[in-house]
Structure 1
Amino acid sequence: MKSSSTHTSSKFDASRANEYARQSRIALAGYDACHELAACMLAASLGNVPTANVLVVGAGGTAQEIIAMAALEPGWRFTAVDPSEPMLEAAAQQLKASGLLARVDMQLGHVHDLPADRRYDAATLIGVLHHVPGDEAKGALLQSIQVLLKSGAPLVVAGNQYAYASQPLLLDAWGQRWRQQGASADEVKARLGKILQGADPPHSEAAVQQLLHEAGFGDATRFFSSLFWGAWLTCKV
């Protein structure tokens, strides 16, 4: 999936990395709660183990999933992989400020660039899948994660679903969310246009489940929802 990965990483340049922390919390109502619950779901799935190695795919930006997991489980360590250098650097800055950088192996690149003999106890894929164009590339990404997980290991997947134009009420509410946070009418219009053109989310929860099944994961449990956004926990079969 190198071509699609290159396409995705090019979207997250320095200017987007600089604004990501603020804008992601507007675009996703409940941003922090989703990441906190993701940590709770992984801890519950693993049985509160004192140590674990967790793969964090698309970790660039806020590194919020790592911060949440690290606060809950002081013995866990993390491998953070992201193809965007500005986004990974932004994550490193957040981790350094939180005193967590020593617990994280920062990897610039893609999942398929990681050593093939590594095996992880758990993984997260948050805010990534809807930026990967096409089901084939989405499936390839999920499979590349699956092969690096131990048998039965949990995976948290979170991101947008639905063809945006198919849900006009949700789309309008998403625009109202931006207006609620002080965006002008022109800015709301621009952001609505950008979301319609800039991503390729799975078209339903059933489509998410199918992608996971085809990649070697079991049934997924939804634990968070916010307009277009959903978050699920599944496990490697």
Structure 2
Amino acid sequence: MPGRPDPFSDPAVATSYAAQTRAKVPGLDDLHRMVTLLLAEKASAGARMLVVGAGGGLELSAMAGAQPGWHFTGVDPSPVMLTQARQATAAAGDRIDLIEGRVDLAPQGPYDGATCLLTLHFLNRAERLHTLREIRRRLRPGARLVVAHHAPPAAGAEQWLARSVRFGDPAAAAQAAAAGERMAQLLPLCSPAEEEDLLREAGFADVALFYAALSFRGWVAVRGEDPGHTEESPA
């Protein structure tokens, strides 16, 4: 994704990504289970899913294991992270296509659902809106998008980020406040209300919060109708 920091091109970071992410994101495995459940409510057993920010392969591996009939397209700009994704999803490799690049390079679909996890907090508002619109364009009407990332309340954002740092590394308690301040300066964060407004501006409807854990938030939304679309009355 545009704006993703350089460390994701470091092989050492890529190698440790799975363990580090499980330590830092509260209930990560359960988050993946919830994401799969929410998508499955609107998708068939043979659904096609779009995974944006697929490097590492954690959500791909979880969803592919839970839904053996689903097929996936994953996109990520980091080749070293995609290498990790290929290794993590080797057992389901015949159902997964991985593409190096941004969402703009993903096939047009239409897909039956999409995810964008732990990615949007790296993007500024314009990049986020573009990414969300490109995802929406590739979804069939009524398909769901699930997103989750850092989105602390505007009031006390640094403190919430510091708490997430302490959760991921209790030994770093003394450095947590400085780390939270640094993250707040480096990440182009949006408040929860701004996140929901962005989803609606991108053309999604029925936006609902389903996950909240320290500085992390997750939403599920439905691809809304195209502007000017009206349902035909039955004959």
Q: What's the TM-score bracket when you normalise by the shorter of the two chains? A: 0.7 to 0.9
RMSD in angstroms over aligned alpha carbons?
2.1
The equivalent residue for 2:65 is 71
Kept after mapping to 2: 8 A contact 1:160/1:228: yes
Displacement of 1:227 after TM fit?
0.5
The C-alpha deviation readout for 1:14-72, integer Å capped at 9, x for no partner, is 232122112212221111111111011111233xx2200000000001x1212222222
Distance in 2, Cα, partners of 1:17 & 1:197: 24
1:190–1:26 Cα change, 3 Å: farther
The C-alpha deviation readout for 1:197-230, integer Å capped at 9, x for no partner, is 3311212x22111101111100212221111111
1:42–1:228 Cα change, 3 Å: same
The equivalent residue for 1:124 is 115
Kept after mapping to 2: 8 A contact 1:165/1:171: no
Structure 1, unaligned runs of 5 or more: none
Structure 2, unaligned runs of 5 or more: 225-235
Distance in 2, Cα, partners of 1:206 & 1:164: 9
* TM-score, length of structure 1 as denominator length: 0.85
The equivalent residue for 1:59 is 54
The equivalent residue for 1:8 is 4
The equivalent residue for 1:18 is 15
Displacement of 1:190 after TM fit?
6.4
More strand by share: 2
How many residue pairs get aligned? The number is: 223
Kept after mapping to 1: 8 A contact 2:166/2:172: no
Do structure 1's residue 158 and structure 2's residue 148 form an aligned pair? yes
Residue correspondence of structure 1 range 191-230 to structure 2 within 5 A: 191-192=179-180, 194-203=182-191, 205-230=192-217
Displacement of 1:165 after TM fit?
7.4
Identity %: 33
Displacement of 1:115 after TM fit?
3.4
The equivalent residue for 2:95 is 103
The equivalent residue for 2:106 is 114
Kept after mapping to 1: 8 A contact 2:158/2:184: no
Distance in 2, Cα, partners of 1:142 & 1:190: 31
Structure 1 counterpart of 2:36, from 32, 36, 39: 39
Distance in 1, Cα, partners of 2:182 & 2:173: 15
Displacement of 1:178 after TM fit?
3.6
Distance in 2, Cα, partners of 1:91 & 1:20: 10
3-state SS of the aligned residue for 1:88? helix
Residue correspondence of structure 1 range 170-189 to structure 2 within 5 A: 170-180=160-170, 182-183=171-172, 185-186=174-175, 188=176
Distance in 2, Cα, partners of 1:57 & 1:51: 19
The equivalent residue for 1:231 is 218
Displacement of 1:176 after TM fit?
2.7
